[in-house]
Structure 1
């Protein structure tokens, strides 16, 4: 038996957020950045190869990336993938994460399993502390459907921020029907 369900909790920059979108979301306020970008992550830790610095340190370098994190999320398909995010930490790029997972969901849609990618972005709570009252039912539904094989509705794709993401600005192709 393979992996039936992947769960990401507040991975955002370097995880469920797309680098291209984080660059757009980053608005300098008094010289300070508001979200973590690729440029900053390569100076903070060793999570990425040194080869990534070429894209991270060039102006508009992330626009030239041959891939972004929506494609990594798409590699989980058709299996269940549930993403939990937190609006309370602007630094972690909540809009970028929402937009990136919106784009990833088009991959799931092409495979006929759109609802297998769930996204839940809750209001401010302590970082990496799971807010059971806000997201517990969504977790239970995905665990029930993908790990216990229960016949439950696990369709969730929401943000409490009322973000919008104009896919036409980022996706210039139609999602094929691969079912």
Structure 2
């Protein structure tokens, strides 16, 4: 719910592919938050990035470029950061979301 309350402002969420971090819960909750951004017609204002092949608390180059795009978009130039929504975990949103995305804009 907290991530969805940030909408329509810019939000970039990074996750590391470590089993004890709760990959399914993070992917599912960020998927629900993304639905809020879709309701505003601004899905690119929220990015979610779950990547692997790095150690705990390390920022891999893929996430650095995504973070830079969000900093440029929402703190500097106001440009569209592009779509950032990737995770190796598949979560069926219908299992936990019993509502449809409303048009909020």
- SS of the aligned residue for 1:147 comes to helix
- State which structure, 1 or 2, has the greater radius of gyration over its C-alpha atoms: 1
Which consecutive unaligned segments of at least 5 residues does structure 2 have?
A: none
Once the two structures are TM-superposed, the CA of residue 170 in structure 1 deviates from its matched residue by 1.0
- SS of the aligned residue for 2:65 comes to helix
CA distance in 1, matches of 2:23, 2:100: 25
CA distance in 2, matches of 1:152, 1:170: 30
Once the two structures are TM-superposed, the CA of residue 172 in structure 1 deviates from its matched residue by 1.1
Residue matched to 1:85: 15
Residue matched to 1:166: 92
Once the two structures are TM-superposed, the CA of residue 103 in structure 1 deviates from its matched residue by 0.8
Residue matched to 2:47: 118
- SS of the aligned residue for 2:33 comes to helix
Once the two structures are TM-superposed, the CA of residue 150 in structure 1 deviates from its matched residue by 4.1
Once the two structures are TM-superposed, the CA of residue 147 in structure 1 deviates from its matched residue by 0.6
If the length of structure 2 is used for normalisation, what is the TM-score? Answer: 0.91
Structure with more contact order per residue of length (Cα contacts < 8 Å, sep ≥ 6) = 2
What is the total number of aligned residue pairs between the two structures?
Answer: 105
**Contact 1:84–1:121 (CA<8 Å) still a contact in 2?**
yes
1:97-108 matches, within 5 Å, as: 97-108=26-37
Which consecutive unaligned segments of at least 5 residues does structure 1 have?
A: 1-70
Residue matched to 1:151: 79
Against the structure 1 CA distance between its residues 172 and 152, is the aligned structure 2 distance closer, same or farther, given a 3 Å change threshold? closer
**Contact 1:145–1:154 (CA<8 Å) still a contact in 2?**
no
Residue matched to 1:177: 103
Residue matched to 1:29: none
